[in-house]
Amino acid sequence: MSVLDNLLSVIYFAVALLIALVAHEYAHAWTAVRLGDQTPKQAGRLSLNPKPLVDPFGTLILPAILLLPVLFGGGLFPVFGYAKPMPLNPWSLRRGERDVTIVALAGPVINLVLAFIFGLLFRVLAGSAPPADLILRCLQVNVILAVIHLVPIPPLDGARLIARFLPPRAREVYANLDQYGALFILLIFFLLPGPIFAFVDVIGNGVCSLVVGAACLG
């Protein structure tokens, strides 16, 4: 691939990540408000405006680092990002812990829905570059976001899912680990990437096979 092709891939990935992140966070906020907690709305999270979502590391620095291999032709590295943690008051939810689980699942679920939508569009537009290239990147990023967020490590949604099943004290400690989210993400991507990437490849390519009939993550 030429330098221009690599640069276009970076732009497509950046656009795809913006779409996927905004949809992911909006789904969390919309679900929480529907289940009785107005905190996300009061914090400006019930919006498609990306500004309230920006976490300096998770939304800007991490994606920029992960896009460097794409820019220099190093192949598809899992392009991923995350937003600033959404404020949530579980005491305002109608059914407490059950609703916390639903709110946590809403983000990955909307990314899966978008993956199927972009997958159908890709089937229609296959061979029609550059639109098909952008659609493919949107498919890939939504699959990656959905799968990685199921990993039970703060600040990912999987941590909130597993916290429900921990004893109260352990749950409190686990919840407080969100503030160290950047360290956990660095650990995942740069020190112990093997098991996580293998998980993403197996599950993500399984989803891709359902959507477009073939693996799509490298």
Q: Band the pLDDT of 177: cuts 50, 70, 90.
A: confident
Closest CA to 144 of 204, 96, 192, 190: 204
Q: Which residues are catalytic?
A: 25
Torsion of CA 152, 153, 155, 159, to 10 degrees: 30
User: Is residue 115 within 8 Å of residue 142, measured between CB atoms?
Assistant: yes
Helix or strand or coil: residue 84?
Answer: coil
128: left (phi over 0), alpha (psi -120 to 50) or beta: beta
Give yes or no for residue 176 having a pLDDT over 90. no
Which token pair is 87?
A: 């404020």
d(CA 161, CA 87): 16
Residues 159, 163, 165: CA angle, nearest 5 degrees: 135
Residues 198, 114, 41: CA angle, nearest 5 degrees: 105
Q: What is the pLDDT of residue 43?
A: 93
User: What average pLDDT does this structure show over 169-192?
Assistant: 81
Helix or strand or coil: residue 9?
Answer: helix
Q: What is the pLDDT of residue 70?
A: 86
A 10 A CB-CB count for 26 gives 21
Render pLDDT for 112-171 as a digit per residue (tens, 0 to 9).
999 999 999 998 887 666 788 899 999 999 999 999 999 888 889 998 888 888 888 887
Q: What is the pLDDT of residue 29?
A: 97
Q: What is the mean pLDDT of the chain?
A: 89
* Lowest mean pLDDT segment, chosen from 30-34, 54-58, 199-203: 199-203
Which token pair is 136?
A: 């493919």
Which token pair is 132?
A: 């098909």
What's the DSSP call for residue 109? Answer: H
User: Is residue 162 within 8 Å of residue 152, measured between CB atoms?
Assistant: yes
Q: What is the pLDDT of residue 1?
A: 60
- In the Cβ-directed half-sphere of 216, how many Cα atoms lie within 13 Å? 27
Residues 130, 76, 128: CA angle, nearest 5 degrees: 15
d(CA 85, CA 75): 30
| Domain layout of the chain by residue ranges | 3-212
User: Longest C-alpha distance within the chain, in Å?
Assistant: 55
Q: What is the pLDDT of residue 140?
A: 94
